[in-house]
Amino acid sequence: MTEREKMLSGQLYDPTDEELVALRMKVRRLCERYNASSCEEQKLRSELLREILGKCGEDAYMEPDIRFDYGCNTFTGKNFFANFNCVILDVAAVHIGDDVMFGPNVTIATPLHPLLARERKIRTREDGSKFDLEYAKPIVIEDGAWLASGVTVTGGVTIGAGAVIGAGSVVTRDIPPGVVAAGVPCKVLRPLSEEDAMEK
């Protein structure tokens, strides 16, 4: 099994593997081009986003700056919008549904590290080069969810359809559909209802 296969299956893997380093360097170069583009270059941004993402839904758009670990492990639905400074560490798959909105400074972080210090320690190969082991869990953000400014989502989490995540929240557990949730750690505050409608 290759290191990439281990990574995508949630096993401990070596992130310094040559194939993985090459993939990360490729997406960094693409992100540099995207982030350097002018607001008048919307066609170029669309082309670059389609090249960066594993799947780019119709009319998906991300305001610069953007950062990805791989890009190819992120799959977005239609009408996805991310405001400034979105970071998606897509070591495992990130699935983003239709009509999802991110506020500025949202972080989607699939990578995880062993809890025991002895398993996190830096290791040395016979040639003297150093490496450590990590793993990752996928993240799913279902249709119509809204993540407000500064939200962080950790590996293994599903955010349900239509859920609203309050600014600055750290989401470490699943959030059900149709609720308002917030806090560190993020907790459900209440269900959404027709009383929340602004168009009466």
Residue 34's pLDDT is 98
What's the rounded Cα separation, in Å, for the pair 121 and 173? Answer: 27
Residue 184: Cβ-neighbour burial (10 angstroms; 0-12, 13-18, 19+): exposed
Does residue 198 lie in a domain region? no
Does residue 62 lie in a domain region? yes
Mean pLDDT of the chain: 98
State yes or no: is 113 an active-site residue: yes
Q: Across residues 182-197, what is the average pLDDT?
A: 97
Does residue 49 lie in a domain region? yes
Residue 117's pLDDT is 95
Residues of the domain holding 127: 3-190
Does residue 196 lie in a domain region? no
Does residue 116 lie in a domain region? yes
Q: Across residues 141-155, what is the average pLDDT?
A: 99
> At residue 10, does pLDDT exceed 90?
yes
Matching residue, tokens 């950790």:
154
> At residue 200, does pLDDT exceed 80?
no
Q: What is the pLDDT of residues 89-115, one digit of tens each?
A: 999 999 999 999 999 999 999 999 999
Does residue 200 lie in a domain region? no
Matching residue, tokens 């791989």:
70
Q: In Å, how far are 62, 146, 151, 178 from 97, measured between CA atoms?
A: 14, 11, 17, 14
Query: What pTM was computed for the model?
Result: 0.96
How far the first Cα of the chain sits from its last, in Å, is 56
194: left (phi over 0), alpha (psi -120 to 50) or beta: alpha
Least confident of 24-33, 95-104, 122-131, 136-145: 122-131
When divided into structural domains, the chain yields a total of 1
Q: What is the pLDDT of residues 122-132, one digit of tens each?
A: 999 999 999 99
What's the rounded Cα separation, in Å, for the pair 29 and 67? Answer: 10
Q: What is the CATH number of the domain that holds 90?
A: 2.160.10.10
Angle between the 18-36 and 42-52 helix axes, to the nearest 10 degrees?
170
Closest C-alpha to 153, from 174, 177, 133 = 174
Closest C-alpha to 150, from 113, 186, 97 = 186
Matching residue, tokens 């983003």:
96
Does residue 195 lie in a domain region? no
Catalytic residue among 55, 113, 120, 173: 113
Q: What is the pLDDT of residues 53-68, one digit of tens each?
A: 999 999 999 999 999 9
Does residue 32 lie in a domain region? yes
Own/partner pairs for 189-197, CB < 8 Å, 24+ apart?
Answer: 192/162, 192/164
Rg (CA), the chain: 18
